[in-house]
């Protein structure tokens, strides 16, 4: 295929698609943000492939010419891959019979196609020396410190030659849901595990990566000299597993058993905890696969199979704009009802204006819809593409002016009115929710009525609803009994605990788990929490610079402080008896660096320290009690800093002796 340079003067659908897909790839590979769903991207890419085949040329920015997207400068060092990390050619569900044809008379290995971020690991002399993201296939970002925090990567292995392997960094659905449950702000929740994983792996602060339970699933051995694998990919998988690596689940197949094996994986996908968007089939015969060579973009020894979602065609009735408590106004597609995966659906979030523009979405368009992972309704494609129009210039709730903001290549609509009623309604909805004050009878609809009637202006007002008895009793849906039940629920909620209050305030990013950690760290002293500095807050497990800054900004506002004081005056906070047990490290601050030998990883060592009352932080400061580094004589920056400040440097053996000594001292 000839490559023709793209210029702004070029016109036509092929140039338009090349540019659009290049922008989508840039967002996906460099920021972890999926501006459109996979089904939409694949549809556009297939259209571009057909146009390129007809025209006989491709623009240099076409994703069919380039692999992935060029790594951007974000503070991570970039490096060229010794062996290019190519993507895979794919077969769609409707073309699944092609898998049998592709395999032919060869034996194959069928495995999950994991949905995360591809990472290449290099081991030298049995030690992890380098970890690099796939990037554009030729150049990736160095994430070695972050990879060492993955929960299942061996930091040392018995094989002493150079080992290079590829795998997928992934976050399980269960861990993803736990993290999202801890985020109070609906708009701050992560869209899917893949986006969360991409952002977690590419952090500048490896402590954040360590807190996300990232796993590494090996799927390809690139180099291991001197090992006899009996010319078998299966033997490579077994060898890697024997070294301590978690490999993707796989089965051996032939043309006769392949269809049954695909069905077996399909039966597992609904309950499989690791995100997967398909399967990978590769020839077991290593020499045969290598003899086939590669195209400019794909290796010929393996092929991907993508799961299909049930897709239905319908008509888009209109776009509904839904305001949130952060000011973000989300577009929601409302369409003629269709049956999907056994249920009737008529609405799907479009997430932001960038996705709307990618779909060229307008009222009256013929669209196809599906359920992502058989759960969440999504738009797959827009068949008529009438174009985005009628983006509201005023907030649908308060009538205040709106503005379009672009953050990390994503455009979204915001209400600029700080007193927007929607912000109040969503904030109060969180405040009365089960994990916060837990007030039965105050649904979002009821809160909307009370706020609209002027009964509630701030949290404390909820505890004085009895002042409006006559008006409430006369409201539609209310009566004497409903009113009395509500007042009793409010009275019960007035006796609560500090964790519920902190969570209920709705400070950006401070979820229930964060609230618990803050309360424990500050020994349930709210005044100390309120006046804590960013530096103090970041010593709390799970609180990074972003959350600490959000906390400090919240209490830098006198209006928020006054509102909080008014609330606390209405509450009776139960005394919390702090957990008893071994607190031998109480008051001590540790920094852990380098590889560990007596623990599975640094996270396990950190958990032990915290369980005994100590703190584990990421930076050596004057408040650090000990630096733990098995290489005590290292000239690393942390060791130098510790020496400058006169802070003792302990090996793991020293730490365990310290721990044993503290126990004996008791």
497: nearest Cα among 612, 593, 576? 576
Compute CA distances 190 → 99, 116, 265, whole Å: 34, 14, 27
pTM, to two decimals: 0.46
Contact 618, 207 (CB under 8 A): yes
Q: At residue 3, what are phi and psi to the nearest 5 degrees? A: -110, 120
- Catalytic residue ranges: 113
Centroid of chain to Cα 19: 27
pLDDT of residue 40: 65
The pLDDT of residue 555 is: 94
Which residue(s) pair with 224 in the sheet? 163
Q: What is the CA radius of gyration of the chain?
A: 28
Q: Give the residue, 457 or 234, on which the prediction is more confident.
A: 234
- pLDDT-derived band of residue 41, with 50, 70 and 90 as boundaries? low
Q: Which two tokens stand for residue 364?
A: 């009256």
Q: Mean pLDDT over residues 233-255, rounded?
A: 93
In this prediction, residue 393 carries a pLDDT of 93
Asked whether residue 153 carries a pLDDT value surpassing 60, the answer given is: yes
Rounded CA-CA distance 541/517 in Å is: 7
Q: Which residues contact 466 (CB under 8 A, 6 or more apart)?
A: 487
Residue with tokens 């006169």: 646
pLDDT score of 656 more than 80: yes
User: Residues 250-284: pLDDT tens digits?
Assistant: 999 999 999 889 888 888 887 788 888 889 999 99
More confident residue, 208 or 665: 208
Strands 78-80 and 366-372: unpaired
Residue 356 has pLDDT above 70, yes or no: yes
Q: Is the pLDDT of residue 178 over 60?
A: yes
Could you report the per-residue pLDDT of 107-127, keeping only the tens digit for each? 999 999 998 999 999 999 999
Alpha-carbon torsion, ordered 453, 455, 458, 459, to 10 deg: -120
509 falls in which pLDDT band (50, 70, 90)? confident
User: Taking the mean position of all CA atoms in its chain, how far away is CA 222?
Assistant: 28
pLDDT at 11 over 50: no
Cα–Cα dist 535/545, whole Å: 8
Considering only residues 123 and 32, tell me which one the structure prediction assigns the higher pLDDT: 123
| pLDDT of residue 455 exceeding 70 | yes
Give 557-609 pLDDT, tens digit per residue. Answer: 998 999 999 999 999 998 766 555 567 787 788 988 887 777 777 777 887 88
pLDDT tens digits for range 295-313:
766 788 999 887 766 688 9
Query: In residues, how long is the chain?
Result: 666
Phi, psi of 393 (to 5 degrees): -90, -15
Each residue's pLDDT tens digit, 481-490: 999 999 999 9
């Amino acid at each position: 295929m000839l490559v023709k340079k793209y210029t702004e003067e070029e016109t036509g659908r092929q140039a338009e698609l090349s540019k659009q897909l290049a922008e989508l790839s840039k967002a996906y590979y460099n920021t972890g943000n999926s501006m459109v769903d996979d089904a939409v991207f694949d549809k556009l890419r297939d259209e571009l492939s057909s146009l390129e085949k007809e025209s006989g040329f491709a623009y240099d920015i076409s994703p069919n010419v380039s692999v992935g997207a060029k790594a951007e400068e974000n503070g991570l060092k970039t490096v060229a891959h010794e062996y290019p990390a190519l993507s895979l050619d794919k077969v769609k569900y409707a073309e699944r019979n092609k898998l049998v044809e592709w395999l032919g008379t060869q034996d194959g290995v069928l495995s999950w196609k994991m949905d995360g971020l591809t990472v290449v690991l290099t081991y030298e002399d049995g030690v992890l020396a380098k970890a690099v993201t796939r990037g554009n296939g030729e150049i990736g970002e160095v994430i070695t410190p972050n990879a060492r925090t993955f929960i299942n990567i061996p930091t040392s292995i018995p094989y002493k030659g150079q080992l290079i392997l590829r795998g997928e960094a992934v976050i399980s659905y269960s861990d993803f849901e736990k993290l999202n449950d801890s985020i109070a702000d609906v708009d701050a929740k992560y869209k899917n595990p893949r986006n969360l994983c991409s952002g977690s792996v590419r952090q500048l602060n490896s402590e954040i990566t360590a807190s996300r339970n990232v796993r590494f699933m090996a799927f390809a051995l690139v180099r291991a000299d001197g090992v006899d694998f009996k010319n078998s990919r299966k033997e490579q998988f077994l060898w890697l597993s024997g070294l301590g690596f978690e490999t993707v689940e796989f089965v051996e197949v032939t043309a006769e058993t392949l269809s049954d094996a695909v069905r077996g994986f399909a039966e597992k996908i609904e309950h499989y905890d690791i995100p997967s968007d398909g399967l990978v089939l590769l020839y077991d015969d290593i020499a045969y696969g290598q003899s086939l060579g590669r195209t400019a973009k794909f290796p010929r020894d393996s092929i991907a199979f993508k799961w299909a979602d049930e897709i239905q065609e319908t008509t888009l009735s209109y776009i509904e704009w839904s305001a949130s408590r952060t000011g973000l106004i989300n577009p929601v597609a409302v369409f003629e009802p269709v049956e999907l995966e056994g249920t009737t659906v008529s609405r799907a979030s479009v997430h932001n204006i960038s996705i709307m523009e990618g779909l060229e979405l307008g009222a009256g368009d013929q669209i196809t819809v599906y359920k992502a992972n058989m759960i969440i309704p999504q738009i797959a494609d827009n068949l008529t593409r009438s174009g985005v129009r009628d983006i509201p210039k005023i907030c649908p709730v308060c009538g205040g002016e709106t503005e379009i903001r672009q953050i990390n290549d994503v455009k979204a609509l915001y209400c600029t009115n700080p007193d927007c009623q929607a912000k109040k309604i969503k904030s109060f909805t969180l405040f009365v929710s089960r994990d916060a004050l837990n007030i039965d009878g105050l649904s979002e609809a009821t809160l909307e009525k009370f706020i609209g009637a002027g009964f509630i202006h701030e949290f404390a007002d909820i505890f004085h609803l009895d002042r409006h008895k006559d008006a409430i009793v006369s409201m539609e849906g209310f009566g004497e009994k409903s009113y009395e039940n509500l007042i009793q629920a409010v009275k019960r909620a007035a006796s609560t605990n500090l964790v519920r209050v902190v969570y209920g305030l709705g400070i950006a990013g401070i979820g229930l788990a964060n609230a618990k950690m803050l309360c424990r760290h500050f020994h349930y002293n709210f005044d100390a929490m309120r006046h804590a500095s960013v530096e103090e807050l970041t010593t709390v497990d799970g609180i990074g610079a972003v959350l600490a800054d959000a906390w400090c900004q919240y209490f830098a506002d006198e209006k928020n402080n006054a509102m909080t004081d008014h609330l606390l005056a209405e509450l009776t906070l139960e005394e919390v008896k702090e957990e008893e047990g071994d607190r031998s490290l109480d008051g001590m601050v540790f920094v852990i660096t380098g590889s560990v030998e007596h623990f599975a990883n640094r996270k396990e060592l950190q958990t032990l320290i915290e369980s005994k009352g100590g703190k584990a932080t990421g930076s050596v400061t004057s408040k650090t009690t000990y630096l733990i580094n098995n290489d005590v004589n290292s000239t690393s920056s942390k060791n130098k800093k510790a020496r400058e400040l006169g802070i003792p440097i302990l090996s793991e053996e020293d730490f365990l002796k310290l721990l044993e000594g503290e126990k004996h001292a008791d």
